[in-house]
Amino acid sequence: MKRRGSALLTVLWLSAALTVIGFSLATTIRGETDRTSTALDGLRSYYLAAAGVDRASLEALWGLQAPGSRAIPEHATQVTYHFASGDVRVEFIPETAKLNVNRATIEDLTRLGTALGLDEVRADALAHTLDGARSPGGAGGGGIGGAPSFPSAGASLQEIEELLSVPGITPELFYGTYLPRQDEAGAVHLVRRPGLVDCLTVYGVHNDVDANTAEPAVLAAIGMPSDGIAALVARRSQGPILPDQLASVAATAGLASARLSVGGHSIVTMRATARLRLPDGKFCNLRRTLAATVKYMPPNYPTDAPIHILRWYDTAWSD
């Protein structure tokens, strides 16, 4: 009887061990299957977003060549494409929505730093540090907050990512960050605060700022009062501001009204966000965003390519 009891106990233990091993193996296989499925959806979303950028860039070109038969409405800030495999929202962000980091005045850069959450001392240090990085003999100083410094390159910035090597400019200041904000109901939500990459560019020669797409921080940098910024953001949320409507919108902009403009953009960042459509017709929870900075060449420019892709971003951020 003892031997039979020991054998039965051994069999029970072996059965329990095999059950645990089988359960662990099934969990591992299911996890790997889910990860593979997510990776596959991410790859499909990437190419879906890329298709959105390709279509938007071509339709924008057709609109320039034949203004009477535009596929994208003039001055539109975004468009949504419905493909068989999913939907793509493409946002149009002209480089005139940002300040040219090589041409902006120290006053503009100081106000920009304040709008991005820096105190007066750090905002002033940011402006002078940027001035030192973009020009020989500029007031580079020791960086924001006394960070270690190095000799200035003595030349204009060629890529906006060069700002990451400027003393005192942290990834949070460059890329932006999220801050907690309490709504009227008392719930706390994370709200994104833009960074320098959303407000500065190395392209463009004009001093104007696009009224339809400029970040509120950029509007503050050119001297627009807070009530004027709120009014402008509220107005453009209803639809794009047309040239003949700019004067009425600029009435609350103060001295910054002279620097507001719309249209005439030859360099545009197209930011595409894709969502796959599932077999049941619903959308996948996964989103993939990428972006391309596109330059449209003048009609008589000696080149076979009317569209030049200046930058391609495999990963981008969008609301």
Q: What is the pLDDT of residue 5?
A: 64
| Contact (Cβ atoms closer than 8 angstroms) between residue 257 and residue 87 | no
Q: What is the pLDDT of residue 15?
A: 81
The tens digit of pLDDT for each residue in 259-276 reads: 999 877 889 999 999 999
DSSP state of 208: -
Q: What global pTM score does this model have?
A: 0.81
d(Cα 291, Cα 50) in Å, to the nearest integer? 8
Q: What letter represents residue 246's amino acid?
A: L
| Contact (Cβ atoms closer than 8 angstroms) between residue 93 and residue 268 | yes
Percent of the chain's residues with pLDDT above 90: 47
Pick from 165, 192, 160: which is nearest to 176 by CA? Answer: 192
pLDDT averaged over every residue in the chain:
85
| Contact (Cβ atoms closer than 8 angstroms) between residue 49 and residue 273 | yes
Q: What is the pLDDT of residue 210?
A: 92
Predicted confidence band of residue 4 (pLDDT cuts 50, 70, 90): low
What are the structural domain ranges in the chain?
1-101+202-211+262-319, 105-198
The tens digit of pLDDT for each residue in 122-131 reads: 999 999 999 9
Secondary structure (3-state) at 45: helix
The tens digit of pLDDT for each residue in 158-181 reads: 889 999 988 889 999 999 988 888
d(Cα 319, Cα 307) in Å, to the nearest integer? 27
| Contact (Cβ atoms closer than 8 angstroms) between residue 262 and residue 248 | no
Pick from 81, 90, 83: which is nearest to 294 by CA? Answer: 90
Pick from 296, 246, 272, 254: which is nearest to 75 by CA? Answer: 246
Question: What number of other Cβ atoms are within 10 A of residue 106's Cβ?
Answer: 15
Tell the residue number behind the tokens 């190395």, with chain if given: 202
d(Cα 283, Cα 187) in Å, to the nearest integer? 27
Phi, psi at 113, each rounded to 5°: -60, -40
- Quote the strand ranges of the chain, DSSP E: 78-83, 86-94, 99-100, 177-182, 188-193, 200-201, 209-210, 260-261, 267-277, 283-296, 307-313
